[in-house]
A and B are shown apart, each in its own frame.
Chain A
Amino acid sequence: DGGITQSPKYLFRKEGQNVTLSCEQNLNHDAMYWYRQDPGQGLRLIYYSQIVNDFQKGDIAEGYSVSREKKESFPLTVTSAQKNPTAFYLCASSTPRTGGTEAFFGQGTRLTVV
C-alpha cells in the first residue's frame, strides 16, 4: 500500500545530541514537508522540499536541518542548536503540480528531551 512511513514513533534525546527523524514515502510525490506540532499552536512548517536536491526553510527552521537526496526520503535532523525540541513531528508529502491536492501525512514521531 502507498503511504508515508515515519520512524521511530518515539525518540528520546539527551541534551546536546543531534537526532535524525526518518520519513519515507512511496506515493511518487514531488513535494515533502516537515511540521512541528505543539499544544495550542497547530502545525508549524519547519522545512519543505519541492524536488530532489532542493529544499526551503519554513517558518521555524532554526535548529533543524534536512536533506533530499532521493525522491522517496526526507530526513529531518534536530540539532543541539534547537532550544526546545520536545514536540510531535509530522512528515507529509503532496503533488502540488496538479493543484488542490491534499497533503498526506505520516503517523508522526514524538521527540522528548531527557
Chain B
Amino acid sequence: AQTVTQSQPEMSVQEAETVTLSCTYDTSESDYYLFWYKQPPSRQMILVIRQEAYKQQNATENRFSVNFQKAAKSFSLKISDSQLGDAAMYFCAYPLLGTYKYIFGTGTRLKVLA
C-alpha cells in the first residue's frame, strides 16, 4: 500500500538557522511526483516545492530545498535561513498517478524561535 510517513510531529529552529523535515514514502511506481505543502495558522495549504522522481537533481525554491533519495524512498525538506513566517504545519504528499488521489503524511509542526 502506498503510504507517506512523517516521523517528526514537531520541530523547532532558531531564526536564521537551518532545519530539515523528514518524509519517507512507500510506492511501487517508478515515475511519480512528491510535494511539500505548508499550512500556516491561517490554515491555507500552500505548495512549497515539488520533486519529479525521474530527475536526479534535487529541487530548490529560494530558501527551500529537498534531499530526494529515491532508493531509500526519502524526501526531506531543508529550510535555510529560517524566518518567523516559516512557522507552520508542513505536509509531505504523494499523488497516485492515474488514480487522482493524493496521499498526505500526518504533518510536522515547525516552530521558529526568535
Contact = CB atoms under 8 A, between A and B. Distances in A.
Interface of A: 31, 33, 35, 40-43, 45, 48, 50, 58, 88, 90, 92, 94, 96, 99-100, 102-103, 105, 107-108
B75 interface: no
A88 B43 contact: yes
B50 A102 contact: yes
B105 A42 contact: yes
Contact of B43 (A42, A92, A102, A108): A108
B97 A99 contact: yes
A89 to B, nearest CB: 11
Interface of B: 6, 9, 33, 35, 37, 42-45, 47, 50, 52, 91, 93, 95, 97-98, 100-102, 104-107
B35 A102 contact: yes
Contacts of B52: 100
Nearest to B50: A102
Given A102-B35, A105-B45, A96 B104 contact: no
Most chain B CB within a 10 A radius of its CB, from A42, A48, A50, A99: A42
Nearest to A49: B100
Contacts of A103: 45, 93, 95, 102
B27 to A, nearest CB: 14
Contacts of A40: 9, 106
Given A40-B9, A40-B106, A107 B42 contact: yes
A107 B44 contact: yes
Given A31-B100, A58-B101, A99-B33, A107 B43 contact: yes
Contacts of B37: 102
A71 to B, nearest CB: 14
A99 B100 CA distance: 10
Contacts of A99: 33, 97
Given A42-B91, A96-B95, A102 B42 contact: no
21 contacts: A33-B102, A42-B6, A42-B91, A43-B104, A45-B102, A48-B100, A88-B43, A90-B45, A92-B45, A96-B97, A96-B98, A96-B100, A100-B95, A102-B35, A103-B93, A103-B95, A103-B102, A107-B42, A107-B43, A107-B44, A108-B44
